[in-house]
């Protein structure tokens, strides 16, 4: 069967994990940023993965056992911001509370680690298929 | 199954020693050479056709099986080489015969 | 008399094996791409039984067996029979893909493929040598 399809499936995984990574890094970087009291604080974002048929260069019907992946949407976590009592903070509200983003830095770091591992695994899948194709051509040499 | 006289040229691949010395051939054996060559040519044609079909399938995307095309190409190539060897031996044998009659 | 140069080389069985390994890589790639997809279940292909069947027959029986498979409707039946892998741990999002076992499958498959391509290459080279007798 086809190694090209394996490469395309792996590539879709790389693309999805990269998008996820961007969102996670954005969360982490903004974990402790605050905004003036009348502005919405940063809210945590997340990605939704869904299986999708890869856009193959050749239109070969896959039999359902092989699927690529895509990020079908980026969602915002609507849970409440973390309120901290810091009356001297320039962004404190009239009660002295500052709204911090609903991001847990530790959690985001763990997620970043996981996304990195998944990215590397997909990279391995792509490279492996590529090597197999190269080996095949060596039969002719 | 006819006997072939160009050394131990076996249909089965057990080291067909084409390089080995050949015995002189009488004229009425020429027909057998012709048959061997004809068979070789027809095998080559068939395998070339298959090889081209596989390559075409790859190009149109009908198949993504790289290994099938590559193996077909090798088979076509090797059977061609075999045919060339058969042809060369026939030519050599013919030349020997011509020399003998002078 | 046809030149049956290639009969003893096991080319059909090896080619089928290469096809299956390629197919397996596709399935593993699919599992890895979907390792974070909610509800996705890990897949694999079953091929050992069919490979044994192929290898135990002589070369003529092999051709018949292969064409029988292919004529049985879909060529996919020879190559895949994908199934959902049982007995894997389920995570909160309904996904059961295990990264480590998928990586292992990748290595196994790649190695097997590499091995057999080398065997095929070697057989063709030996054949070329015996045809040309060292004269190129």
Task: Assess contact for A136 and A56: CB atoms under 8 A.
Answer: no
Start-to-end C-alpha separation, chain B? 34
Domain count, chain B: 1
Please indicate, yes or no, if residue A74 is contained in any of the structural domains: yes
Domain count, chain A: 1
Interface residue of C22, C29, C104 to substitute, partner A, most A CBs within 10 Å: C29
Contacting residues of A for C113, CB less than 8 Å apart: 132, 135
Show the domain range for A70: 3-32+43-79+104-138
Q: Which of C18, C25, C107 sits opposite A6 (nearest CB)?
A: C25
Show the domain range for B46: 29-101
Distance CA A11, CA A18 (A): 11
Helices marked H in B9-64: 30-60
pTM of the model: 0.79
Q: pLDDT for C78-96, tens place per residue?
A: 445 788 888 899 999 999 9
Helices marked H in A32-104: none
Task: Assess contact for A79 and C40: CB atoms under 8 A.
Answer: no
> Which chains lie within 8 Å of chain A at 3 or more CB pairs, if any?
B, C
Confidence of residue B8 (pLDDT cuts 50, 70, 90): very low
Please indicate, yes or no, if residue B92 is contained in any of the structural domains: yes
Given a cut of 70, whether residue C101 has pLDDT beyond it is yes
Start-to-end C-alpha separation, chain C? 26
Give the model's pLDDT for residue A53: 78
Do B2 and C11 count as a contact with CB atoms less than 8 A apart? no
> Which chains lie within 8 Å of chain B at 3 or more CB pairs, if any?
A, C
Please indicate, yes or no, if residue B17 is contained in any of the structural domains: no
Task: Assess contact for A116 and A21: CB atoms under 8 A.
Answer: yes
Do B70 and A139 count as a contact with CB atoms less than 8 A apart? yes
ipTM (interface pTM)? 0.89
């Amino acid at each position: 069967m086809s190694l090209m399809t394996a490469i395309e499936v792996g590539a879709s995984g790389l693309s999805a994990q990269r998008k996820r990574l961007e969102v996670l890094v954005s969360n982490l970087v903004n974990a402790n940023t605050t905004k003036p009291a009348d502005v919405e604080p940063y809210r945590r974002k997340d990605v939704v993965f869904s299986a999708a048929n890869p856009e193959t260069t050749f239109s070969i019907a896959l039999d359902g056992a092989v699927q690529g992946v895509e990020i079908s949407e980026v969602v915002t976590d609507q849970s409440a911001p973390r309120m901290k009592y810091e009356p001297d903070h320039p962004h404190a509200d009239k009660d002295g509370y500052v709204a911090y983003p609903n991001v847990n830095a530790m959690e985001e770091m763990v997620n970043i680690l996981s996304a990195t591992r998944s990215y590397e695994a997909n990279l391995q899948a792509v490279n492996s298929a590529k090597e197999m194709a190269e080996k095949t051509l060596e039969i002719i040499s | 199954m006819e006997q072939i006289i160009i050394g131990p040229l076996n249909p089965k691949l057990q080291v067909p020693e084409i390089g080995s010395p050949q015995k002189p051939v009488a004229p009425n054996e020429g027909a057998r050479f012709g048959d061997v060559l004809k068979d070789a040519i027809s095998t080559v044609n068939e395998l070339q056709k298959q090889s081209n079909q596989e390559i075409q399938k790859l190009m149109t995307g009908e198949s993504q099986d790289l290994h099938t095309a590559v193996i077909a190409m090798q088979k076509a190539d090797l059977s061609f080489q075999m045919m060339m060897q058969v042809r060369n031996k026939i030519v050599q044998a013919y030349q020997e015969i011509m020399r003998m009659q002078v | 008399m046809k030149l049956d140069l290639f009969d003893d080389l096991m080319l059909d069985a090896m080619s089928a094996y290469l096809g299956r390994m390629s197919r397996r890589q596709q399935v593993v790639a699919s599992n890895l791409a979907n390792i974070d997809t909610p509800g996705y279940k890990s897949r694999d292909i079953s091929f050992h039984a069919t490979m044994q069947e192929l290898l135990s027959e002589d070369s003529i029986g092999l051709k018949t067996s292969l064409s029988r498979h292919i004529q049985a409707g879909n060529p996919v039946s020879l190559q895949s029979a994908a199934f959902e892998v049982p007995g894997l741990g389920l995570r909160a999002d309904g996904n059961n893909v295990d990264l480590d076992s998928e990586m292992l499958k990748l290595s196994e498959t790649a190695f097997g493929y590499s091995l057999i391509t080398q065997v095929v290459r070697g057989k063709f080279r030996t054949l070329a040598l015996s045809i040309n007798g060292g004269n190129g």
